[in-house]
Structure 1
Amino acid sequence: MLIASMNQKSFPNILVVMTQPDVANQVTTEKQSIVRISDQADQTIGYNFLAIDQLLPELQFNGVQALSVADVATLNQALEAAGFTPDLVADETPHIVVGYVQECVVHPDSDHMHVTQTQIAPDQTVQIVCGAANIAQGQKVIVATVGAVMPEGKIIWPSQLRGVQSDGMICAAREIGVEGAPAKGIMVLPDDWEVGQAVTADAVAALLK
């Protein structure tokens, strides 16, 4: 997993790269304008590239950055030159995709949540806890997979909801940025949408017209 972003107003010329969720106790190490953030077990959480214009000068806009394989290779070269392990892995897979709810059962510790087994690719099914009242087995739905960055900036990480593992989020249209979409309930997609295909706000908005 690799999430990269920039905020030129608050942190000019800094590329923030995350590979794992934040933890309370972090260790930071700076070498040659690169800060490595790790946990107490020395697992990399992410990096701050403090002079990104010297490495990837084209990254000058705010928000999430879509790094190519070549971009990540450049960052890994910089890490190695600074004495860090070049451990970044490019991630060009879409993270807002069509899912298929294969199974939907009542959450064992909630009167409104359900535990689903949701297919997010032809060869991948994940468990996702969903609180929407209209979730049901057999639906095609919008899934924000682990590593997705939502329009308001929220990052989807693996989580536990009332003690049950949840690896993603089944979304309402509004949650992926469709203005004017219903505030309640998930968006149910047409049956002919292919599991695993990328979902955009524009494509979903067209369905609602």
Structure 2
Amino acid sequence: MNLFYNPTGVGDVAFVQLEVVEGPYEYEKTNDIVTIKKDDQVVGFNIFNAAQSLDIQGTGHIKLTDDLLSKIQSAVKNAGIDTKLEVDLTPKFVVGYVQEKEKHPNADKLSVCKIDVGTEVLQIVCGAPNIEQGQKVVVAKVGAVMPSGMIIKDAELRGVPSSGMVCSMKELNLPNAPQEKGIMVLEDSYQVGQAFFEE
């Protein structure tokens, strides 16, 4: 789930994204809430007059907390909409350990990696020339919002499933990021599964 809020640019509307799907969408307005559906599945809400019910701090991509999630759920319920929000609030940018690296069967410049992120082992297709087995790296898990605004989704790259992205300093918008291609390799002191950012 992602929450976006820009009162100066768009007005007092909170944009709640539950699923990342392509349109066209159907819209249903109930009081101050527009429910956004795709093939009868609820994929998001636009909550008007958001400042009255949500107490959002900041603008842009808003960090979700238990308190804010509870307020969004109450706003949806108070509008008479029967949708239970199932949300994973665990960190989306975490330290991963590259357990395995194999050549992609259908692409010379891609690697298929098995990366331990603490709670699970993800298969991630990576195009960085410097990724190697045994490294600690920064992983953007599915649902992460990159500084560019891109949302990480489950994907299939040249026929191989990939769940997440191994990040470079440039992609993370870190200062003094090198211009050459390559993922960010972390020091060994980082713990596998720990949050990379204070999210």
TM-score range, shorter chain: over 0.9
- Residue identity over aligned pairs, in percent, reads 40
Note if contact 1:69-1:90 (Cα within 8 Å) is conserved in structure 2: no
* Correspondence 1:141 to 2:134: no
Q: Distance in 1 between matches of 2:28 and 2:193?
A: 38
3-state SS of 2:150 partner: coil
Cα-to-partner distance string for 1:30-56 (whole Å, 9 max, x where unaligned): 11111111211x222111111101111
Q: Distance in 1 between matches of 2:30 and 2:175?
A: 44
Letter in 2 for 1:48: N
Q: From 39, 48, 51, give the equivalent of 1:50.
A: 48
Letter in 2 for 1:105: E
Which residue in the other structure is 1:194 paired with?
Answer: 191
Which residue in the other structure is 1:204 paired with?
Answer: none
Q: Distance in 2 between matches of 1:195 and 1:85?
A: 38
* Correspondence 1:29 to 2:28: yes
Structure 1 segments of 4+ aligned residues over 3 angstroms from their partners: none
Letter in 2 for 1:54: Q
Which residue in the other structure is 1:14 paired with?
Answer: 13
- Aligned-residue Cα RMSD (Å) equals 1.6
Note if contact 1:16-1:48 (Cα within 8 Å) is conserved in structure 2: yes
Larger displacement relative to structure 2 (44-53 or 83-92): 83-92
Give the gaps of 5 or more residues in structure 2. none
* Correspondence 1:185 to 2:182: yes
Report the CA distance shift for 1:60/1:189 in structure 2 as closer, same or farther (over 3 A): closer
Letter in 2 for 1:63: G
* Correspondence 1:88 to 2:106: no
Letter in 2 for 1:79: V
Which residue in the other structure is 2:124 paired with?
Answer: 128
Counting matched residue pairs gives 197
Letter in 1 for 2:69: V
Q: Distance in 1 between matches of 2:160 and 2:171?
A: 22
Q: Distance in 2 between matches of 1:199 and 1:67?
A: 17
Q: Distance in 1 between matches of 2:74 and 2:83?
A: 7
3-state SS of 1:104 partner: strand
Cα-to-partner distance string for 1:110-134 (whole Å, 9 max, x where unaligned): 110011111112x311111100011
3-state SS of 2:170 partner: helix
Which residue in the other structure is 1:173 paired with?
Answer: 169
Q: Distance in 2 between matches of 1:120 and 1:46?
A: 28
Note if contact 1:158-1:166 (Cα within 8 Å) is conserved in structure 2: yes
Give the alignment's TM-score, normalised by structure 2. Answer: 0.92
Give the alignment's TM-score, normalised by structure 1. Answer: 0.88
Q: Distance in 1 between matches of 2:36 and 2:155?
A: 21
Which residue in the other structure is 1:99 paired with?
Answer: 96
Q: Distance in 1 between matches of 2:36 and 2:2?
A: 14
3-state SS of 1:101 partner: strand
